[in-house]
Structures are given as C-alpha cells and as structure tokens.
Amino acid sequence: MGTHKINADLDIAGQLVALNSGTIGGSNLGNATILAGSTSTGIGIDSNEIVGKGDHLYIGAATNNKSIIFRTDATSNVLTLDSDQNATFTGSITIPDYIKHTSDGDTFFGFSDADVFKIHVGNEDVIRVNGGATSSEAAVSILCGGGSGATNVGLLLNGQTNGETLKLKMANPNTGGTNIGAGILSFEPDGDTFNIGQSTTHNNMAISIDNSENVTLINALTVTGNIVANGNIVGDDGTNISNIASIKADSYGADADNTTRIDMTADDINFLVQDTDVFQVTETDFVFDAAVKTSIKKRKFAKTNNTDGNADGDIVYFGSTTSMTAGKIYYYTSSSTWALADADSASTAKGLLGVALGSASNTNGVLLRGMVTLSNDSGTIGDAVFLSTTPGLAQSSAPTGNGDIARVVGYCLDNTNGQVYFNPDGTFVEVSA
C-alpha cells in the first residue's frame, strides 16, 4: 500500500499491527517495525529491540514520583529505577571487571582476575581477596598504611558503644572438620588495655598490654628459645625462678639495695656489698679483699693420689724458681728463691719449707701445709715424717749425724705412695753426736 502520512492525531481502539519483519540489528533503523523520527535521527522498534540513533536515547517516566520497572514476564521485576535515583536489582549483577567511582577513575572495586576481588583507592590496591588456594599471597591482603593521623594503620576496628570491649575472634576447622574459635584480640577502652588470649572475658586473657607498653602475663610462660631483656626483669618477694639450666647476666643485685650485687665479666666475678669488693673469682684465683675478715668453719682436705706433687692445702705462688721437681721438699732462701732442703745442712733445714707441685713455683705453686704426695716413700701409715739428709726427701726416722737437723715435717698417710700430711714443725733439734 506504500507510505501514508498522517498529520493529525490517530486514535486506535484496537491493536496497531506493524507487519515489517526486518531486524534493526543494533542500528539499521530502516528495518524497524515502528519508526519514530527518521532513519538517521530516530527511534526504531522491532519485535525484540528498541534502538535510538542520533542524539542520546532517554527512557523516563512522564509523571513525577513514578518508577521505571524492567520485567522478564508479567510479574517478575528484575530492575526498578525509582524517583529517588535508586536502582534495585532483584537478582545478581554480573560485571566483567570493575565498578568505578564517577569522575574518579583511580577509585573502583571489582575483579582483576578469576577468583580475585580487590578494592582500589587513589591509584593503589588497598584490599585484595584471593579465592581458593594461593601460594604467593594471603587469602586477604590489606596493602595500605594510614594517613597523617594514623601512620601505617592498615585496618581500624572502631567500636560505637561507650565503655564496651571490642573483640576480634579467629576460628578455623580442626582436622576433624569441627570449627574451633578461641583466639581473641580484645580492647577495653576504660582501662585502655589490649589483651590477647582464648578466654572470652577480657580480664582473664593470657596477655595484657597497657598504654605504656607494659606486658602482664596472668599464667605461666613457656619459652623454648632464649629470653633476651635489655631492661630489668622485676618480680616481687614471692617470685621464684626455678628449673633453669642457665641464666646469663652482667650483674645480679639485691632487691633491697642494688649496691650489693654480683658483677660478672668474661674473665672474673666480683662480689660486692654496698659497692665494696668482698671477693673476686677468676679462672685461677679466689681472692678476698684485704679488709674482709674471713671465717671458714670447716676446711675439707682430701687424701691425695699417688702422683708426685698432687696436693690439697695452703699453696703459695712466688719465688720465681724453675727446674723444680714435683714432690720434693724445698726451703725459701734469703734471695727469695726456692732450693732443696737437706737435714744435714742446717741453713737449708731451719726455715720456711714447702713441697714443689711442679717445675715452676709461680705457675705450679709450692705447698706450705696440707695433703701432698712426696716424691719418695717416707714410712708407715701414722708415723711422723722427718726431713731427710738426702736433699729434697723425707724419712721415717730422725737423722743422727752430728749437726743434722731433726725436724718433723708431717705424718705418713700411706705405706708406699709417699702420701703425707705436710705440716713442718716450728721447732727442731740440732744433733750433737
């Protein structure tokens, strides 16, 4: 029938059926079943498309406070656009990647990859959530620090109820599949304390940290490695440290007065009372301060073994004498050295006697009194032992030669090994025969 133009209103009581069966195909308005306007600047409608060509295509409600509703059938709404500019979707929204902030292209959220959701703010990823197993990143990563008022704060839990404890709980299924959740981080605002523990009660948690960074443990602390402290470890009078294999420190002080203490270095230990040295211990020496009066109730001397010069008693380290023989008896000379003592030489037998404990007096020492093994057998157990007329030896009987010095130097403790209690008598007899 061709094209008919109607220049006035057209009222149709029944259906208006357009028979053109062409497809617009997105932009070919010449195939539209109904065409409003022209093929270059108009709106075309066919059986499954509405297409606008030219300027913007507007869809709106002519009456205020009305909604535009999209349906998939007579009753099922899928999208409602209301007069307050809200969009309500009945089902899920599927997007290829991101939802972006208007006029702010560097702030958006969405999906950067399969199973990866992220929030991007100010041209930086701030949160990433990785689905499934991931070996290169945590399941949830918070990637930002705070601003100038919250330096390096990546996550803030901000409560809204005055005085209420704020808690963060952690839970996870065990190997049997039962969900276990007992790990709690807790903040109590009135006491300004941050607690960590498995109790749901703030004050019963294992670790409490106050706003001065003091840490309080309410129960025992088990440590498998080292405890390193740069400050003080402070307890009360009821605090005990027990079952410790080793404690390393530079100083141990008295609780009542830290001027009374034990100071330690790599080479010595100093015991001080009110900052005054009492005695010092080194690898080789145990030295009391000269002003200290020492009281030793008991001294335990052990019988020596059968090695010449083995000793337990009073030992001196002076005389600068070498080439000595361990187990032999020496006298202290007027030239401040040691020489072999001899009962038939009065000048060597009357003075200070001692037993060499090695080849050098200043290194090995010389025993003045005590248990010692002499270099020769000196008699029968219990016998008095005399200085011998053979230089450096002892014998079981007093010498009898004219001018000999009969001087007891100790008592025999063994029949064959030379073990004696060495204690030279301060008196002696010069034999006249």
Per-residue pLDDT in tens (0 to 9) along the chain, 433 residues: 566 677 777 777 776 666 666 677 767 777 777 777 777 788 877 777 888 877 777 787 777 888 888 888 888 889 898 888 899 999 898 888 998 888 888 899 998 888 888 888 888 888 888 876 566 777 888 776 555 555 566 677 778 888 888 888 888 888 998 888 777 888 898 999 999 998 888 888 899 999 999 888 888 888 888 777 777 777 777 777 777 777 777 888 887 888 899 999 999 999 988 888 888 989 888 888 888 888 888 989 999 999 999 999 999 999 999 999 999 999 999 999 999 999 999 999 999 999 999 999 999 999 999 999 999 999 999 999 999 999 999 999 999 999 999 999 999 999 999 999 999 999 999 999 8
Predicted local distance difference test score (pLDDT) of residue 74: 81
Distance CA 233, CA 228 (A): 10
Q: Which residues of 335-361 are buried (b: 16+ CB within 10 A; e: fewer)?
A: eeebbbbbbbbeebbeeebbbbbbebb
d(CA 193, CA 226): 27
Separation CA 370–CA 309 (nearest Å): 12
How far, in Å, CA of 127 to CA of 138, rounded?
Answer: 11
* Residue bearing tokens 């025999």: 412
**Cα separation of 188 and 382, whole Å?**
81
CB atoms within 10 A of CB 139: 11
Amino acid (1-letter code) at residue 37: G
pLDDT at 42: 80
Residue 58 tokens read as 């507007």
The per-residue pLDDT for 134 is: 60
pTM of the model: 0.50
Which residues lie below 8 Å from residue 353, measured CB to CB, with a gap of 6+? Answer: 329, 330, 331, 332, 341, 368, 387, 409, 424
pLDDT score recorded for residue 216: 87
**CB neighbour class for 295 (10 Å; exposed up to 12, middle 13-18, buried from 19):** exposed
